[in-house]
Amino acid sequence: MTAVAETRAGLRIGPYQVDPPVVLAPMAGITNVAFRTLCREFGSPDAIYVCEMITARAVVERNEKTLHMMAFGPDESPRSMQLYGVDPKTLGEAVRIVVGEGWADHIDMNLGCPVKKVTRLGGGAALPYKRRLFANIVREMVAAAGDVPVTFKFRIGIDDDHHTHLDTGRIAEAEGAAAVSLHARTAAQLYSGQADWTAITRLKEAVTTIPVLGNGDIFTADDALRMIAETGCDGVVVGRGCLGRPWLFAELSAALRDQPIPEGPTLGRVGEILLRHAQLLTEHDGEDKAMRDIRKHMAWYLMGYPVGSDLRRKFATVSSLTQIEDLVTQLDPTIPFPVEAATGPRGRQGSPQPKVTLPEGWLDNPEDATVPTAADVMHSGG
C-alpha cells in the first residue's frame, strides 16, 4: 500500500477513529467554538478540531473567562482541548478536573510556543529540552486522564543545534501518549521559511507504536497528500491554511477520500460564510466581542478577491452584524475563487529569531527536572 492509501485506511487516537485523518490545529484567538463549528460544517464530523489553548493553572483556579473559552458545540465529538503548562502537578490536576467534570474527550498539550515571553521562562518550545521534566509531565497527565487520550504537540527543537523532537516523541510514546504531532520547525524559526518535512519522516521512524501527525505548511489539499506521501505520517494537522478558508476542510476530506476536490467558493458564497462566522461568534460571545474578533478574519476571507480598498477597509472595521449583512450585499457574488492568489501561505510568517531566549543555564543539563518558576501563564499560543 502507498503511504496515502495506508493513512486513508485510518487514524485512531485512543477510542476515536479519526476519518479522514485531519486535525484542525489549535490556534489561540482563532479556534474557538464558532470557528470550529464552521470548519466542521465543511469538513468531516469525524475529523478532530482542537480548541484554543487553555492554561492548566486557569483550569485549576476555575477562572471564569477560561471556563467560557472551554465551550464546545452540542455535536462536537470528540471534544478536543489543548492545555498549556510546565508543572507536572498542575497539569495532572488540570487533567483530573477536565476529565472529572466531563469537559473534554481528548486532551492535547502545547509544547510548541516559540515566543520570547514564554521560552525565556522555560515554557512552550523550550520545555521538551528538559527530558525528565517532560517525562514527568506526560506521566502525570496520562495517569490523570484515565481513558481519555492525551496527545503532545511539539516543534523540532530549540534551534538547529538543539533538535529534540525524536527524544520528545520517544518519551511521549514510552509514557503513554496516544499520539504526537510535530510542527516541523524549530522555535528559532518561528513561522518563517519552510517547514522541514523530513523531520516528520524521522519522527515517524523513531515513534513506532502510536500515531505520528505532521504539521507545517499545508495550504492546499494537495499539500496534505504530499506530506503523507513524503513522510508516511498518520495524519495531518492544519493551521494557517484554513484562516479565512474553513472550506479547506471540505477539500481535505475529498482529497483524502480520493474524491474530486470541490471548487473554491465565489465571492458571494464567501460573503455568506463570513457572515455565518460572525453570527456564530455573536451567539457565543455577544455582538461586541464578536465584532472585535471577526475583524481580524476579514483580510483572510477576502484575500485574492478583487474587492476594492474602500469595501475591504469597511469589512475590517465592522461594528455590527447588520453592517456585515449590508457590506455582503455590496460584494459581486459572481466573482470566482481566485485560485492563484488565495491558495498560497497566509497568516503568521515573518523572519526567524536570531536567538531563542531561555532561562539562565537552561541548556546545561537536559536531565534537570526542576519545574521552571513563573512559566505557568501564557496567552499567545504556538
Ligand X SMILES: Cc1cc2nc3c(=O)[nH]c(=O)nc-3n(C[C@H](O)[C@H](O)[C@H](O)COP(=O)(O)O)c2cc1C
Name the residues that contact ligand X, by CB under 6 A: 25-30, 53, 82, 110, 112, 153, 183, 215-218, 238-241, 347-348, 381-382
β-bridge partners, 111: 154
Q: Closest separation between CB of residue 329 and ligand X, Å? A: 30
Q: How far apart are CA 6 and CA 166, in angstroms?
A: 23
Q: Closest separation between CB of residue 4 and ligand X, Å? A: 19
Q: How far apart are CA 207 and CA 89, in angstroms?
A: 26
Pick the closer one to ligand X by CB: 151 or 201: 151
Q: Closest separation between CB of residue 317 and ligand X, Å? A: 20
Pick the closer one to ligand X by CB: 123 or 382: 382
Q: Closest separation between CB of residue 312 and ligand X, Å? A: 21
Q: How far apart are CA 228 and CA 25, in angstroms?
A: 17
Bridge-based pairing state of the strands 150-159 and 162-163: antiparallel
The residue of the chain with the least Cβ separation from ligand X equals: 382
Pick the closer one to ligand X by CB: 240 or 245: 240
Pick the closer one to ligand X by CB: 156 or 328: 156
Pick the closer one to ligand X by CB: 116 or 348: 348
Q: Closest separation between CB of residue 257 and ligand X, Å? A: 20
Q: Closest separation between CB of residue 62 and ligand X, Å? A: 20
Q: Residue type at 214?
A: G
Q: Closest separation between CB of residue 179 and ligand X, Å? A: 14
Q: What is the DSSP string of 143-205?
A: HHHTTS-EEEEEEEEEETTEE-HHHHHHHHHHTT-SEEEEEEEETTTTT-S---THHHHHHHH
- Grid coordinates representing 170 are 520517544
Alpha-carbon dihedral angle through residues 41, 246, 309, 328, given to the nearest 10 degrees: 0
Catalytic residue among 51, 113, 233, 242: 113
Q: Pick the closest to residue 195 from 167, 237, 132, 234 (CA basis).
A: 237
Pick the closer one to ligand X by CB: 24 or 280: 24
Active-site residue, 51 included:
no
Q: Using omega within 30 degrees of 0 as the cis cutoff, is the peptide bond preceding 15 cis?
A: no
Pick the closer one to ligand X by CB: 126 or 267: 126
DSSP-H helix ranges across the chain: 3-8, 33-42, 56-60, 64-69, 88-100, 116-119, 131-145, 165-174, 198-206, 221-231, 248-256, 267-285, 287-302, 309-316, 321-329, 339-342
Three-state secondary structure call for residue 55: strand
Contact call for residues 357 and 120 (beta carbons, < 8 A): yes
Catalytic site positions: 113
